[in-house]
């Protein structure tokens, strides 16, 4: 392929709120640049995984190279770098933005800016990107492009006068977007002869090639056969292949400063080529790595157990396979008295956790039980020893604890002003500390709060959605640890402590949580032939109690005229239900019990 | 029309076969009703009377299509159920039975049952049933309380129960069952026991005492979902069952199946065929059959049924092959419905394996739970096990 000059390259991302049309716009750009025929186009080509498509969000980022002949007569290479669109993946977003010179900001003309969009715009501004606003969904009757433009100007302070008004769905005015990219996004700089400096903005494991790193070359040149060094680990590898992404990987003889492409070098594990790391030339290394690299650490933990004990190894294999492509997923074996052998897994956030759970069930066809998510608590013992606790069961007895700390986040909630009261009440309820409130415009505000992460991961998202009819959006980041009065809340079923239900909660919340969990368990655990007490306890003190009445009747009075099939269907249904039960002592607890206790209660 | 005489009995004595022959039972479904009851989800119609002659003809055709298979057996019981078999003219029943007697092998002591509803039977019908060889009648009494009868959508009143019963006795029907139902909306324990007392006072040989089942699609099911059904609570309902059982046993009726009670020697042989997992052929709309390691069932669409048979095709809608392990499962599930339970020797004889070798764990588990007893000869449900039999049976499924 003929080499296009650096000044004709444009590297950009698309920033958008979920549902505002990022993937659809990406499809259209790919279509318009003629890289793919319409027939080859899979709907939403950037979102590969089934799950992503269903949820309408992008989990793993990818890059694609488009060739565009602009109205000025020149041919341009447009490297589109996709970003994940969720609060759990802020770091990954920041690294893909770092690979670009510009970002298209897609705003839904019927909705306006949302909190996550804004958070990502700030990330882009931190990386000195040129922001190109695009107003989408103008085909809808409720579109209000002028208001939305003004909103963007007021909130972000960028000029929207020339912002393309488009409908990605209908393919309307897509050319304008391409022209704007060419016109407003600066060309990359960098010297192909300087020591190599390449940013890894994504990596994944391929069973033939090993780890495939998506890179942006800032300085120097990357070629097959070169010896490279990963700067954070110091490990060296020989480059096997470099290439670009069109609709598939196309190998090229080199990547130069300004280029976006991929590199393979027989790297065995994504952990050795983490997002944000810098690749350099082993024999002519750069002095400094690119800024911004950090090893992301899990914020949320939960236990994942096979529904049937014998599946333990299958769950381990599945987690190992997922981890190969997901450096931020961690796990280690643990045992639970109630659930047997399983794994304590760490995630970036709740969404990340849900995605992993769903993939285990869907892609690996596993039946799993998940325990309540927990954050990492810092416990100082009376001996002075400091522990990090991610599993409530490992909390030392209260008498040995001198003090405890919990992670605190700063949360930014963007909402129509009508819901401010409801949100403030909710945040207060969640032990939030009000920082301030900003009016973005007459009817939209951002509330800034400090909140314990353990409240955010409980049911805060659901509550927020429910209280604002889905209009509020949330973004948060870890602020640090603060001392807090925390207790371990235990649940006893039929007199037996079920460790999988144990939670660490603030002492003022314990009573309410205990009662709510006991009530829900009463509803989800089927009646047995004996009465089952359900108790919530702190230490040896019972704080709530419910009783599941004994089952008195479970009999089919009549076997209709030889219709045994009907009777058997009934029993088989019953049997199917039993399969999804965990035996805890003499009580059969359905798997959904472990989830139900976490769900937001509308009536609360 | 054939002259009415004692043809049925005559044919039967001519055609009965040797005892060694394999036996089978026949179920015949009559789907017509005067009107549909609020709790009923059987295949039945109250507005298709013009289809009766065609339907009755189709039944004969269906029997014909089974001729070859049936000739390998002798028939030991016949059960004409519904619907309301007594809602149609007696001559249809007579014709059909005579057709059976003429064409197939019959066992010596056949039990031939028909279901009737009070208010649909008169002297003529009773007489023709007797002449057709029917020797057992099951009356759909449900309750001896007019208020309750009305509230569940029955067309008869208590007075007609007595009348029907007398008519049948007059025609020398010597084996009469009454179907009673408990757990009805607004029914009290006194109501339940009163009905049983009345049945006993009349001197019936057999009582089926069913707990109300709310089947999807019935009026009661829908009303209950809207919370508009004042049903007795679970404790009250079980009290009705236990008190009724106690009372019946005290009066000499043996409790031989979850919902069935009989004076000595009057257990329903036809129903025992189901519970012993012996072969039966069901003909008519929506009927189920079990023979030659297969379960199969007919269409429930009457037009389909008539049309298929019009073209001499079997109206079978589905079938399931019963392999040995399924047969064992079903044998146990059905066997446990009988109060005397599963005879271990018979199990061994039939399946050539000890029941403990297959279900040892399950049996032990439920002995520990107090739901079954092993008396050395048989495995049977305890009193508590009868209330919770689904919990036991479900574990017998593989």
Q: pLDDT at position B93, please?
A: 97
User: Does B81 contact A567 at a Cβ distance shorter than 8 Å?
Assistant: no
Q: Does residue B35 surpass a pLDDT of 70? A: yes
* pLDDT tens by residue, A294-351: 777 788 899 999 987 778 999 999 998 888 777 788 999 999 888 889 999 999 887 7
Is B363 in the A-facing interface, judged by CB distances under 8 Å?
no
State mean pLDDT over B179-186: 96
Percentage of chain A beyond pLDDT 90 is 48
In this prediction, residue B95 has a pLDDT band, given cuts at 50, 70 and 90, of very high
Percentage of chain B beyond pLDDT 70 is 95
- Residues 6 or more apart in contact with residue A158 via CB below 8 angstroms: A131, A133, A152
Q: pLDDT at position A41, please?
A: 47
Residues of A contacting chain B (CB within 8 angstroms): 529, 551-565, 567-568, 570-572, 574-575, 578
Q: pLDDT at position B215, please?
A: 85
Q: Which residues of A touch B274 (CB under 8 A)?
A: 559, 562, 564
In this prediction, residue A56 has a pLDDT band, given cuts at 50, 70 and 90, of very low
* pLDDT tens by residue, A143-185: 999 999 998 888 888 899 899 999 998 989 999 999 999 999 9
In this prediction, residue A118 has a pLDDT band, given cuts at 50, 70 and 90, of confident
Q: Does residue A19 surpass a pLDDT of 90? A: no
Q: Which of B394, B395, B396 to mutate to test the interface with A (most CBs of A within 10 A)?
A: B394
C-alpha to C-alpha distance for A259 and A198, rounded to whole angstroms: 10
Q: Which residues of B touch A576 (CB under 8 A)?
A: none
Q: pLDDT at position A583, please?
A: 82
Query: DSSP letters along A56-118, please?
Result: T---S--EEEEEEE-TTS-EEEEEEE----SGGGHHHHHHHHHT-SEEEEEEETTT---HHHH
Q: Which residues of B touch A574 (CB under 8 A)?
A: 390, 394
In this prediction, residue A47 has a pLDDT band, given cuts at 50, 70 and 90, of very low
User: Does B259 contact A572 at a Cβ distance shorter than 8 Å?
Assistant: no
Question: In chain B, whose CA is at the least distance from the CA of A577?
Answer: B394
State mean pLDDT over A466-477: 80
Q: Which residues of A touch B42 (CB under 8 A)?
A: 560
Question: In chain A, whose CA is at the least distance from the CA of B371?
Answer: A529
Mean confidence (pLDDT) of chain B: 92
Q: Which of A528, A531, A555, A570 to mutate to test the interface with B (most CBs of B within 10 A)?
A: A555
Q: Does residue A468 surpass a pLDDT of 90? A: no
Is B237 in the A-facing interface, judged by CB distances under 8 Å?
yes
The listed range with the strongest mean pLDDT (A343-352, B196-205, B389-398) is B196-205
- Show the tokens assigned to A139: 């085909």
User: Does A529 contact B391 at a Cβ distance shorter than 8 Å?
Assistant: yes
Cα A454–A458–A463 angle (5° rounding)? 125
Tell me the C-alpha to C-alpha distance, in Å, between residue A181 and each of A412, A555, B72.
30, 71, 86
In this prediction, residue A60 has a pLDDT band, given cuts at 50, 70 and 90, of very low
Q: Which residues of A touch B212 (CB under 8 A)?
A: 557
Mean confidence (pLDDT) of chain A: 86
C-alpha to C-alpha distance for B176 and B174, rounded to whole angstroms: 6
Give the nearest partner residue to B238 out of A553, A565, A578, using CB atoms.
A553
- Show the tokens assigned to A597: 């206790």
Q: pLDDT at position B20, please?
A: 64
List the one residue out of A92, A106, A150 whose CA is nearest residue A326.
A92
In this prediction, residue A246 has a pLDDT band, given cuts at 50, 70 and 90, of confident
* pLDDT tens by residue, A550-575: 999 998 877 666 778 888 888 888 88
In this prediction, residue A34 has a pLDDT band, given cuts at 50, 70 and 90, of low
Place of tokens 């669409």: B301
B3: closest CA of chain A, how far (Å): 32
State mean pLDDT over B384-393: 95
C-alpha to C-alpha distance for A233 and A295, rounded to whole angstroms: 11
Task: Record the pTM.
Answer: 0.69
State mean pLDDT over B189-205: 97
Q: Which residues of B touch A572 (CB under 8 A)?
A: 397
B259: closest CA of chain A, how far (Å): 6
The DSSP 8-state label assigned to residue A396 in this structure reads: P
Coil, helix or strand at residue A25: helix
State mean pLDDT over B66-91: 94
The ipTM (two decimal places) reads 0.85
Q: Which residues of B touch A554 (CB under 8 A)?
A: 387-391
């Amino acid at each position: 392929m003929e080499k296009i000059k650096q000044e004709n390259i444009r590297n950009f991302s698309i920033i958008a709120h979920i549902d505002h049309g990022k993937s659809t716009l990406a499809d259209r750009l790919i279509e318009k640049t003629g890289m793919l025929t319409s027939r080859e186009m899979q709907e939403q080509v950037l979102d590969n995984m089934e799950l992503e498509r269903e949820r309408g969000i992008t989990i793993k980022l990818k890059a694609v190279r488009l060739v565009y002949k602009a109205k000025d007569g020149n041919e341009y290479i447009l490297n589109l770098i996709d970003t994940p669109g969720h609060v759990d993946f802020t770091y990954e977003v920041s690294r893909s933005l770092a690979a670009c010179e510009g970002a298209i900001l897609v705003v839904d003309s019927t909705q306006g800016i949302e909190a996550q969009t804004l958070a990502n715009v700030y990330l882009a501004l931190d990386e000195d990107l040129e922001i190109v606003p695009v107003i989408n969904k103008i085909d809808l009757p409720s579109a209000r492009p002028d208001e939305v433009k003004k909103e963007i100007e007021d909130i972000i302070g960028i000029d929207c006068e020339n912002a393309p008004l488009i409908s990605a769905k209908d393919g309307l005015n897509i050319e304008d977007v391409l022209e704007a990219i060419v016109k407003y996004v600066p060309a990359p700089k960098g010297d192909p002869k300087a020591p190599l400096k390449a940013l890894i903005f994504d990596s994944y494991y391929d069973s033939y090639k090993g780890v495939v790193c998506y890179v942006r070359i800032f300085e120097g040149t990357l070629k097959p056969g070169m010896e490279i060094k990963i700067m954070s680990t110091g490990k060296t590898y020989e480059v096997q292949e470099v290439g670009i992404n069109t609709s598939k990987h196309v190998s090229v003889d080199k990547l130069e400063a300004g280029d976006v492409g991929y590199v393979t070098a027989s790297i065995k594990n994504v952990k050795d080529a983490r997002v944000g790391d810098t690749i350099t030339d082993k024999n002519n290394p750069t002095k400094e790595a690119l800024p911004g690299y950090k090893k992301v650490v899990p914020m949320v933990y939960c236990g994942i157990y096979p529904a049937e004990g014998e599946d333990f190894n299958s769950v381990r294999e599945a987690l190992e396979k997922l981890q190969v492509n997901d450096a931020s997923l961690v796990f280690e074996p643990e045992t639970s008295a109630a659930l047997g052998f399983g794994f304590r897994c760490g995630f970036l956030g709740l969404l990340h956790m849900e995605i992993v759970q769903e993939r285990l069930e869907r892609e690996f066809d596993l039946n799993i039980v998940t325990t309540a998510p927990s954050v990492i608590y810092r416990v100082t013992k009376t001996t002075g020893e400091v522990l990090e606790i991610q599993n409530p069961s490992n909390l030392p007895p209260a008498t040995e604890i001198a003090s405890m700390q919990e992670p605190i986040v700063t949360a930014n909630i963007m909402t129509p002003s009508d819901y401010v009261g409801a949100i403030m009440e909710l945040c207060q309820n969640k032990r939030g500390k009000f920082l301030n409130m900003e009016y973005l415009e007459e009817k939209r505000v951002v509330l800034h709060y400090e909140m314990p992460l353990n409240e955010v991961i409980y049911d805060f998202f659901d509550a927020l959605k429910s209280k604002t009819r889905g209009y509020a959006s949330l973004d948060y980041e870890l602020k640090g640890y603060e001392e807090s009065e925390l207790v371990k809340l235990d649940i006893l079923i039929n007199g037996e402590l079920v460790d999988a239900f144990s939670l660490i909660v603030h002492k003022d919340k314990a009573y309410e949580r205990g009662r709510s969990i006991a009530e829900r368990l009463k509803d989800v655990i089927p009646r047995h032939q004996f009465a089952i007490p359900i108790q919530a306890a702190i230490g040896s003190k019972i704080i709530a109690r419910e009783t599941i009445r004994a089952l008195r009747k479970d009999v089919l009075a009549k076997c209709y005229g030889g219709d045994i099939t009907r009777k058997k269907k009934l029993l088989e249904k019953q049997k199917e239900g039993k399969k999804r039960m965990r035996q805890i002592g003499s009580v059969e607890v359905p798997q959904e019990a472990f989830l139900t206790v976490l769900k937001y209660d509308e009536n609360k | 029309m054939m002259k009415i005489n004692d043809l049925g009995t005559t044919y039967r004595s001519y055609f009965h076969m040797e005892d060694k022959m394999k036996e089978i039972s026949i179920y015949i479904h009559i789907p017509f009703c005067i009107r549909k009851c609020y709790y009923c989800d059987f295949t039945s119609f109250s507005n298709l009377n013009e289809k009766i002659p065609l339907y009755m003809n189709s039944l004969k055709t269906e029997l014909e299509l089974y001729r070859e298979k049936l000739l390998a057996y002798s028939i030991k019981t016949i059960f004409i159920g519904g619907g309301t078999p007594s809602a149609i003219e007696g001559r249809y029943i007579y014709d059909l039975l005579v057709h059976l007697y003429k064409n197939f092998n019959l066992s010596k002591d056949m039990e031939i049952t028909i279901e009737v509803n009070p208010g649909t039977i008169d002297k003529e019908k009773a007489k023709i049933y007797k002449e057709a060889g029917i020797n057992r009648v099951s009356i759909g009494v449900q309750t001896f309380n007019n208020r309750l009868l009305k509230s569940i959508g029955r067309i008869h009143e208590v007075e007609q129960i007595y009348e029907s019963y007398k008519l049948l006795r007059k025609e020398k029907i010597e084996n009469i069952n009454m179907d009673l139902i408990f757990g009805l909306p607004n029914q009290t324990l006194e109501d339940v026991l009163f009905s049983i007392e009345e049945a006993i006072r009349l001197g019936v040989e057999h009582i089926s005492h069913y707990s109300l089942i709310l089947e999807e699609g019935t009026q009661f099911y829908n009303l209950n979902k809207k919370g508009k059904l004042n049903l007795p609570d679970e404790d009250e309902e079980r009290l009705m069952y236990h008190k009724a059982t106690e009372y019946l046993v005290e009066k000499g009726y043996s409790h031989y199946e979850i919902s069935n009670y009989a004076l000595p020697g009057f257990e329903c042989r036809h129903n025992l065929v189901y519970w012993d997992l012996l072969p039966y052929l069901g003909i008519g709309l929506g009927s189920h059959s079990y023979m030659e390691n297969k379960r199969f069932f007919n269409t429930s669409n009457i037009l389909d049924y008539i049309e298929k048979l019009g073209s001499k095709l079997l109206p079978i809608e589905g079938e399931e092959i019963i392999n040995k392990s399924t047969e064992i499962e079903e044998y146990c599930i059905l066997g446990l419905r009988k109060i005397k339970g599963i005879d271990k020797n018979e199990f061994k004889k039939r399946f050539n394996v000890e029941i403990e070798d297959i279900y040892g764990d399950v049996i032990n588990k439920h002995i520990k739970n107090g739901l079954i007893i092993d008396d050395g000869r048989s495995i049977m449900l305890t009193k508590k096990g009868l209330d919770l039999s689904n919990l036991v049976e479900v574990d017998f499924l593989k």
